[in-house]
Amino acid sequence: MPHTPPPAAPRHRGRLRLAPLTALTVSAVLLVPVQAAASQPGHGGWTAKRPVATGYGGAVATVDLDASRTAIEVLRNGGNAMDAAVAAGATLGVTEPYVAALGGGGYMTYYDARRRKVYTVDGRETAPLAMREDSFVDPSTGQAIPLDQAVTSGLSVGVPGTLAQWDTALRRFGTRDLGTLLRPAIRIAERGFVVDQEFRDQTAANEARFRDIVPTRKLFLPGGRLPEVGSTFRNPDLARTYRELAKRGPGWLYGGGLGREVVRTVQAPPVDPAAARNVRPGLMKDGDLRAYRSRTPEPTRVSYRGLDVYGMPPSSSGGSTVGETLKILNNFELGASDHVKALHYYLEASKLAYADRGRYVGDPDKVHVPLKELLSDGFARERACLIKPDQAAAAPVAPGSPDGDYRPCIPPGGTARALTYEGPQTTHLVVADKWGNVVAYNVTIEQFGGSGLTVPGRGFLLNNELTDFTLQPPAPGATPDPNLPGPGKRPRSSMAPTLVLEDGKPKLALGTPGGSTIITTVLQILLNRIDLGMDLPTALAAPRATQRNTPDVFAEQAFIDRYGTALALRGHRFQPFPGPPTGVIGAATALEFLRPGLVQAVAEPVRRGGGSALVVRPRW
């Protein structure tokens, strides 16, 4: 018989309690410390990364010191959180070109302190109007083309959304114009940045395909060689592109000359004639760029332990799947006294939510997404009823029926859907300003290096986001798939820039890269912080595991070492997370309001080389 869960856990009364911490606390779970930063005039106050900063006047956490310094510069000069987020995003296009660029897209959640309301800005890429369900199918075999061929192709390139998203975000919420906010990125692109091991490793991982694409080889393999650690990498092409954007505005891409250059690159990939690589042309046309619009849908919202958790609605599955999992967990009492119990319920609840994600979530402009039902209390109880306290369910589990007719402990019907590929190489940043505005922002070109196609002379790569679609259509009569390719359709994403409010005011902001592991990373950080009582640096640095409705749980080795034996007694099977990067899940950034005006920004201390947290006025 299905297990009946205990009554819903009581809501936490009063404030979210904070564990004692100092301004520079980093948890003992960290493996190695990040180099301490030294104050230097002319460098925004910092010359090296550090993972935690606490202070006043605004805060930022990104993966990159230059991007964090750009955001702080904007805040110090009177810009708000949205201004700083856009400026940091533009800088990441220079210093993190394999994950953030004009050729990609992303999602933002934004708390407007004046209106006391959460908004979203959806800059997800769209498929060309010529795309069909079988566009990735090889007609000679009837099967989807190999994934590596789909990735490195014009076929995988979605209509870029980043620039339209910046434009919408600044017009609605910003106080500075785009040209002003591009200046720090232009300066860095011209002067260059110092190559670190992470940048060299990402280039090396792409070296073979980069060599086959002429403008990509010229830009990222200068002199035909991998950039050396400690050398200076410059991108004058991108500096010129940013300058021209400052003059011409977004219309230069969406219907102008830059857009025509993008289309030429997609339709006729600039492959070295001597290369043997099969780089398929894409379907994008000038009209696809003219037709692109960013969206501002209502955020998802769920209540969890007395807090309001806001997320990104479909086409992202981040807000719906994080929200559904939290709604399921609301049915159980979890706490710091039993980490194994809490982790068991976290793994089981996310397993169920991923089953529903695969069955129901897609682009809401093209398919029906039962979002209200997926986030309802009744559906959460129906799903929670299937969780046994001492035995993991065999995965994959079937999706539920979010139809409004909820009957406790009725096993679902239907067929589980295989996990769709999503490249894990994205980036996330958080910014808060002195007025209390907050941004959580995921930006991406999909995987490291995107499609591998650089727009000649423009200094940026194009995305491969359309590989987030289900590439192989289901057999006739099979369960419908909401994430098939289609004309003008946005592929499903897992990006989950998340804001948490307490009594109507911001408490936490967080997010991460990681493809389909984004959702579980955000969930685990929330579980660690809210239920297990960790401070935010500890919650973010703790070892991670991800259950995405797969037979095995994939986890970092430190998680397996700590919890694997105890959770195996409850039926969980573990495998080390394969990456890339090997063995590492996510690279999160987060911030927390410790009290009015006092903010703690937190970045990764170790994963992906560590991140950079800064505040306008440190609390020493």
Residues in the chain with pLDDT values less than 50: 1-15, 17-44
Neighbours of 575 (CB within 10 A): 12
Q: Kindly report whether the peptide bond that precedes residue 580 is cis, defined as omega within 30 degrees of 0.
A: yes
For residue 392, give the 3-state DSSP assignment: coil
**Residue 301: its H or E element:** strand 300-304
Residues sharing a CB contact under 8 Å with residue 257, sequence separation 6 or more, in sequence order: none
| pLDDT of the residue at 407 | 81
Residue 250 resides in a domain: yes
Residue 2 resides in a domain: no
> CA-CA distance, 159 to 290, in Å (whole number)?
10
Helix ranges restricted to H, 213-300? 214-220, 236-248, 257-267, 286-291
Whose CA is closest to 131, among 474, 470, 494? 470
> CA-CA distance, 354 to 545, in Å (whole number)?
14
pLDDT digits (tens, 9 = 90+) for 85-97: 999 999 999 999 9
> CA-CA distance, 262 to 68, in Å (whole number)?
29
Between strands 498-502 and 505-511, the pairing is antiparallel
Q: What is the value of pTM for the model shown? A: 0.92
Catalytic residue chosen out of the listed positions 70, 91, 420, 426: 426
> CA-CA distance, 565 to 484, in Å (whole number)?
39
Whose CA is closest to 135, among 124, 144, 146? 144
| pLDDT of the residue at 408 | 77
Residue 97 resides in a domain: yes
Helix ranges restricted to H, 330-376? 339-360, 371-374
- Asked whether 96 and 449 are in contact (CB, 8 A), the reply is no
Amino acid at 386: L
Q: Quick check: is 512 catalytic?
A: no
Q: Which two tokens stand for residue 425?
A: 């190489």
Residue 345 resides in a domain: no
Residues sharing a CB contact under 8 Å with residue 353, sequence separation 6 or more, in sequence order: 321, 324, 325, 328, 383, 519
Residue 3 resides in a domain: no
We report the CATH number of the domain holding residue 282 as 3.60.20.40
Residue 183 resides in a domain: yes
Structural domain that includes position 554: 52-296+421-618
Number of domains in the chain: 1
Q: Which two tokens stand for residue 426?
A: 């994205």
3-state helix, strand, coil in the chain (%, to 5): 35, 20, 50
Residue 24 resides in a domain: no
pLDDT digits (tens, 9 = 90+) for 139-169: 999 999 999 999 999 999 999 999 999 999 9
Q: Which two tokens stand for residue 510?
A: 């967080």
Residue 365 resides in a domain: no
In percent, how much of the chain has pLDDT > 90?
85
CA distances from 458 to 163, 262, 528 (A): 15, 9, 43
> CA-CA distance, 383 to 616, in Å (whole number)?
45
> CA-CA distance, 131 to 368, in Å (whole number)?
20
| pLDDT of the residue at 398 | 94
DSSP state letters, 208-224: HHHHHBHHHHHHHSGGG
Amino acid at 459: G
